[in-house]
Amino acid sequence: MKMTPVAVVLGSLLILGAIVFMVVYVPYATYDETPSEIFRERTAEEAAGRKLYIANGCVYCHSQSIRTIDWGMGAERIAQAGDYVQDQPILLGSQRTGVDLSQEGGEHPDDWHMAHFINPRYTRPLSIMPAFAYLGDDLEILTRYVQGLGFKQADRRMDRQRYWKKEAIRAYEAGVEANARWLNIDIVPEGWRNIPNPYPTTAAGLARGRKIYQDFCLGCHGPVGDGMGPAQPWIYPPPYNFTILKNRTISGGILYYHIMNGITGSAMPYFKRELESQKIWEVGNFVAVYFINQSDANAAPRGIDSAWEP
């Protein structure tokens, strides 16, 4: 074959044109623009927040694309083409240095996001996300965008957050006694309240619990468990002070239930995706022994000793 300038330039362009038609134009022309069942239009504030999300490069660490093989944040719903019909540009992302945000809306209340944006390590001590305090008042707008991720599902979760935020504030403002009763009796199912921590408080177990506390809890509840962690100024009702709980019959089960399920409305997240059962029990033991100074570990009622117990 004789290669002439015309063959090189026009030949390349003709091939390119044919392939663009096939792999770009045909998918574009046959794309089904039907919105998915969770879809809704973004509000003006959410759209403005999305611009901030783009301007600050959030897309380089956060995907918005849940796959069939995912377990983590948002994995209750696999992405559909109809979720993206108003996205220009689409923000699928190519890396997950942080969590997928497709369904982030309503996972946390607004005040948690504010503390987290001011410095992500305030709420998540191991995070490597940059601090975004420099955005100032724009953080509120960015929060609106994040809280809308998941569309109608996010709206349902946000309604739930707002309802329970009111309840949590009412309990907190009713005083220490009323708040302790609400937190530890009213919102914990009876069965959980009666379960002592089945893990004995060994030195090894407490050391493990301490590691979990440092990695997950310290930002809000603070190094001495008094609720004065670095996130505290942004959070209302403020993070709980464990040191007032002595002689209030706080069972291991109550602690487990709250750590597992979170306290929706308050900034307390659920940890059931991140911590397996043993880790939750042992961080509960750590809190009970070091901050409450009272532990029901391995107390009755108890069944058969587990095979691993000394």
Partner 1 sequence: MTTNATSAPPTYMTAKGFTLTAGFWMTVATFMGLLGATELIAPDLTENIGWVVFGRVRPIHVNLVLFGFVTPGLLAAAFYYLPRILRTELFSEMLGVVTVVLWNLVLIGVVVTLAAGYTQGREYAEMIWPVDMGVVLIFSLVLINFLMTVVRRKEPMLYVSVWYACAGIVLTATTFSLGNVIWRPDTGALVGIPDAILLWFYGHNVFGLLLTPLAAGVAYYVIPRACKTPLYSHTLSLLGFWSLIVVYTHIGTHHLLQVPVPTWLKVISIVDSVAMVIPVMAFLINIWYTAKGRLGEIHNDIGAKFVFTGTIMYFFVSIQGSIMALPQVQRITHFNNWVVAHAHVGVLGFAGMISLGGLYYILPRITNKPLFSRFLADFQYWMILIGVVGFTVVLTIAGLIQGNAWYNGETIYRVLPEIHMYYITRASIGLLVFSSAVLGLYNIIRTLYFNPGEKLS
Q: Smallest distance from the beta carbon of 100 to partner 1, in angstroms?
A: 8
Q: Is the dihedral of CA 129, 130, 131, 135 positive or negative?
A: negative
CA 141 from centre of chain: 19
Distance in angstroms (rounded) separating the CA atoms of residues 237 and 232: 9
Q: Where are the alpha helices (DSSP H) in 21-97?
A: 26-29, 44-55
Q: Smallest distance from the beta carbon of 57 to partner 1, in angstroms?
A: 2
Binding to partner 1 by residue 181, rule CB under 8 A? no
Q: Smallest distance from the beta carbon of 283 to partner 1, in angstroms?
A: 14
Element (H, E) at 253: helix 252-261
Site for partner 1 in 93-152 (CB under 8 A): 93-99, 119-121, 124, 126-135
Binding to partner 1 by residue 28, rule CB under 8 A? yes
Q: Smallest distance from the beta carbon of 110 to partner 1, in angstroms?
A: 21
Site for partner 1 in 259-288 (CB under 8 A): 273-274
CB 33, CB 85: distance < 8 Å: yes
Q: Smallest distance from the beta carbon of 278 to partner 1, in angstroms?
A: 14
Q: Smallest distance from the beta carbon of 271 to partner 1, in angstroms?
A: 10
Binding to partner 1 by residue 58, rule CB under 8 A? yes
- Nearer of residues 76 and 177 to partner 1, judged by Cβ: 76
Token match 């089904």: residue? 32
Binding to partner 1 by residue 56, rule CB under 8 A? yes
Binding to partner 1 by residue 255, rule CB under 8 A? no
- Nearer of residues 97 and 194 to partner 1, judged by Cβ: 97
CA dihedral 188, 289, 125, 259 (to 10 degrees): -20
- Residue from 38, 42, 45, 80 touching partner 1 (CB under 8 A): that is 80
Please report, for residues 79, 142, 183, 217, 270, the alpha-carbon distance to residue 262 in angstroms, rounded to integers and kept in the order given: 26, 24, 11, 12, 4
- Nearer of residues 20 and 174 to partner 1, judged by Cβ: 20
**HSE of 183 in the Cβ direction (CA atoms, 13 Å)?**
34
